[in-house]
């Protein structure tokens, strides 16, 4: 992550774009509704998008020869839901491809699916599960962000394995190789992202005004 420009075969690039499209359509409707109903929350929406942009723009060398980075989608998924964060994540990836040559336009669908969609939905699902079993709030946010990060890289490894199966061991062997490329670096990086997300969440909870926190229930410790 991000899969670079032109790396995927054209059929895979188009396929992942088509898979991502319905999620983005749903996310646009969700985002539009939230802005219309909760205009006071726009500042926090912008902050979560900026958080994801900065974190996912960090390229950190991997000990296995690739590079890794945090995703930053866990914060927005917890605050606004996975559908809305899918759109914000797509915008982040689009700007990174255009401005930073980080990822690419032909691979935008695949990168969107792994980071903006899967990462957001997994993070939100973990947050809801943690809240349901009454884990401490900070621990729930930590697990949501960290596991959402790891899920992104698992999906990316599977995307690459589907595109480039090993000539001898096939899809399974290729998947193990790509997972191995990311795992050593991404596991500690996901933990760091979890801690940073907890810090930013508490910063927002402590500094946003009462009016804004009413429109973002999680900032008051309420799960939607």
Q: Tens place of pLDDT for every residue, the chain, 224 residues? A: 688 898 999 999 999 999 999 999 999 999 999 888 888 788 889 989 999 999 988 877 766 556 778 899 999 999 999 999 999 999 999 999 998 888 899 999 999 999 999 999 999 999 999 999 999 999 999 999 999 999 999 999 999 999 999 888 889 999 998 888 777 778 888 999 999 999 999 888 877 656 555 656 676 665 55
Contacts of 175 (CB under 8 A, 6+ apart): 157, 158, 161
Would you state the pLDDT for residue 211?
A: 53
Would you state the pLDDT for residue 68?
A: 76
Annotated domain spans of the chain: 10-220
Would you state the pLDDT for residue 62?
A: 66
Would you state the pLDDT for residue 66?
A: 65
Would you state the pLDDT for residue 223?
A: 59
C-alpha angle with apex 191: 78 to 120, nearest 5 degrees? 30
**In this structure, are residues 224 and 218 in contact, taking their beta carbons and an 8 Å threshold?**
yes
Contacts of 92 (CB under 8 A, 6+ apart): 49, 52, 53, 56, 72, 116
Please count the other Cβ atoms lying within 10 Å of the Cβ belonging to residue 181. Answer: 20
The owner of tokens 């790396």 is: 7
Task: Provide the token pair at 193.
Answer: 């992202």
Would you state the pLDDT for residue 210?
A: 60
Whether pTM exceeds 0.75: yes
**Which top CATH class is 10-220?**
mainly alpha
| 121 Rama sector, left if φ>0, alpha if ψ -120 to 50, beta otherwise | alpha
């Amino acid at each position: 992550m991000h899969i670079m420009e032109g790396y995927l075969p054209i059929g895979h690039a188009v396929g992942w774009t088509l898979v991502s499209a319905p999620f983005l359509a749903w996310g646009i409707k969700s985002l539009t509704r939230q802005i219309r109903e909760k205009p006071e929350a726009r500042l926090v929406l912008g902050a979560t998008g900026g958080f994801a942009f900065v974190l996912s723009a960090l390229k950190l060398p991997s000990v296995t020869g690739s590079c890794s980075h945090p995703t930053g989608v866990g914060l927005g998924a917890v605050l606004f839901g996975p559908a809305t964060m899918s759109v914000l994540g797509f915008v982040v990836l689009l700007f990174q491809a255009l401005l930073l040559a980080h990822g690419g336009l032909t691979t935008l669908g695949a990168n969107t699916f792994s980071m903006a969609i899967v990462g957001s939905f997994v993070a939100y699902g973990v947050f809801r599960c943690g809240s349901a079993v009454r884990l401490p709030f900070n621990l729930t946010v930590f697990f949501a962000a960290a596991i959402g990060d790891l899920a992104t890289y698992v999906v990316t490894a599977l995307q690459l394995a589907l595109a480039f199966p090993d000539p001898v061991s096939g899809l399974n062997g290729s998947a193990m190789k790509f997972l191995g490329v990311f795992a050593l670096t991404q596991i500690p990086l996901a933990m760091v992202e979890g801690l940073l997300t907890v810090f930013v969440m508490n910063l927002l909870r402590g500094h946003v005004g009462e009016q804004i926190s009413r429109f973002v229930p999680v900032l008051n410790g309420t799960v939607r």
